[in-house]
Amino acid sequence: KINESPNTNNKYEKKISNLPQDDGWKPVGNLYKYQGFWYGPSLLQNVISAQESFTPQPSDIVLCSSPKSGTAWLKALAFSIVSRNQVNDSTNPLLKKLPHEIVPFLEIELAQDSNNRNLEIPFVATHIPYDSLPKPIIDSECKIIYICRDPKDVLISHWNFDQQVSGIGSESFPLEEALEQYCKGIYPFGPYWDHVLGFWKASLEFPEKVLFIKYEDLKTDGPFHVKRMAKFLGHPFSMEEEEEGDPEKVVNMCSFENLSRLEVNKNGKYYLPDLPTFVNKSFFRKGKAGDWKNYLTDGKAAKFNQIMAEKFSGSGLV
Ligand code: A3P
């Protein structure tokens, strides 16, 4: 199972064992509800540890998402935007490294040591929900970008990914069951709607601090949203750069078609402490908007849409 780890850190064990539990997301096993969201035990220890000790660098940019919403894509885009004057299309580290190796996760690599990273790269990423983020991130000048995606595609992507990583096949964890868990909000970092709403509301309240972008918008007009991100991050594209087509170059470098064909992303592996080894290609499945249509009937999709519409109602987000 995905979250089982031989080096469990006993410090938080008692606290965690008293939390509400559910074992319906089979690839992970027992999940625990902490501050309104569900986590596997070792990841939760890391989240609590990060809350207690993480300190960002003042210039850090925090890239946030629910799992399977386009995290790797956001990492690639934000990194390419900010480093565009230091690297070009033949020296971009993305050609040799998985985006996750360039931008570490707060709740994985940095959970115990905020500086366990290349400090010259001003990015950290996280799946931690807005209200549970370590306080120094909120209190600092750090900018936050959040990516959200059609929850039906997130479900399909998550279900496929967790099956592959855990080795638990669809006979033991049918899509029906995953859908049911998603509708209840009980899966790692769920409920989806609360995750999205936390960042959405923060982006309305603090527009200088939190930028909210949608996976589907990036698909339909990449250059426009790349320019938006660049401006938000204080690295706007100049007129000359726009005339040279630099925003389009970033979009092309980071496109699914480009990244997924690179040797590192086809055959490389990604090692993380206390987690199973990931094959890089599992982070590049189809990269499409609307793949859910190949998995969910219209009836199931309608039920799912209705739940999301109720949860998002009145928020201005749909
Ligand atoms: P699919 O499983 O639908 O293909 P995350 O990075 O948060 O784990 O999200 C993974 C999803 O993003 C996967 O979706 C993956 O294929 C897709 N993805 C990865 N790189 C992408 C890119 N450059 N452009 C668009 N989608 C991408």
Ligand 1 atom 22 nearest Cα: 256
ipTM of this predicted structure = 1.00
Q: Is residue 318 part of a domain?
A: no
- At 9, the pLDDT band (50, 70, 90 cuts) reads low
- How far apart CA 226 and CA 101 sit, in angstroms, is 22
Residue 6 confidence (pLDDT)? 44
Q: Is the pLDDT of residue 11 over 70?
A: yes
Which pLDDT belongs to residue 10?
72
pLDDT value at 7 more than 80: no
Q: Whose CA is nearest to atom 19 of ligand 1?
A: 284
Q: What does each C-alpha distance from 82 to 26, 230, 231, 235, 300 come to in angstroms?
A: 39, 7, 10, 7, 41
- Report residue 3's pLDDT band, with 50, 70 and 90 as the boundaries: low
Q: Among 51-55, 262-266, 272-276, name the one with the lowest average pLDDT.
A: 272-276
Sheet holding 21-22, edge to edge: 21-22, 31-34, 37-39
Q: What is the pLDDT averaged over residues 44-52? A: 96
Average pLDDT over residues 216-221: 98
- The answer as to whether 4 is a domain residue is no
Sort residue 133 into left (φ over 0), alpha (ψ -120 to 50) or beta: beta
Mean pLDDT to the nearest integer, 200-204 = 98
Considering only CA atoms, which residue is closest to atom 8 of ligand 1? 68
Does 283 fall in a domain? yes
pLDDT (0 to 100) of residue 308 = 93
Domain of 38, in residue numbers: 10-312
Q: What's the confidence (pLDDT) of residue 169?
A: 87
Q: Cα(317)–Cα(214) distance, rounded to whole angstroms? A: 11
- pTM: predicted TM-score of the whole model, two decimal places: 0.96
Determine, yes or no, domain membership for 292: yes
Q: How far apart are CA 160 and CA 285, in angstroms?
A: 9
What's the CA-to-centroid distance between 19 and ligand 1, angstroms?
32
169 in a structural domain: yes
Domain membership of residue 105 (yes or no) is yes
Residue in 135, 110, 163 with CA at minimum distance from that of residue 51:
135
In a domain, 317, yes or no: no
Q: What is the pLDDT of residues 288-297, one digit of tens each?
A: 999 999 999 9
Would you say residue 1 lies in a domain? no
pLDDT tens, residue by residue, 240-268: 999 999 999 999 999 999 999 999 999 99
List residues near ligand 1 (CB under 6 A). 65, 67-73, 153, 157, 160, 254-256, 259, 283-287, 291
Residue pLDDT, tens place only, 95-140? 999 999 999 999 999 999 999 999 999 999 999 999 999 999 999 9
Please choose from 63, 64, 65, 68 the residue to mutate so as to test ligand 1's pocket, defined by most ligand atoms within 8 A of CB. 68
Residue 273 structure tokens: 């402490």
Q: Is 141 helix (H, G, I), strand (E, B) or coil?
A: coil
Residue 151: CATH number of its domain: 3.40.50.300
Looking at the structure of the chain, the number of domains it has is: 1
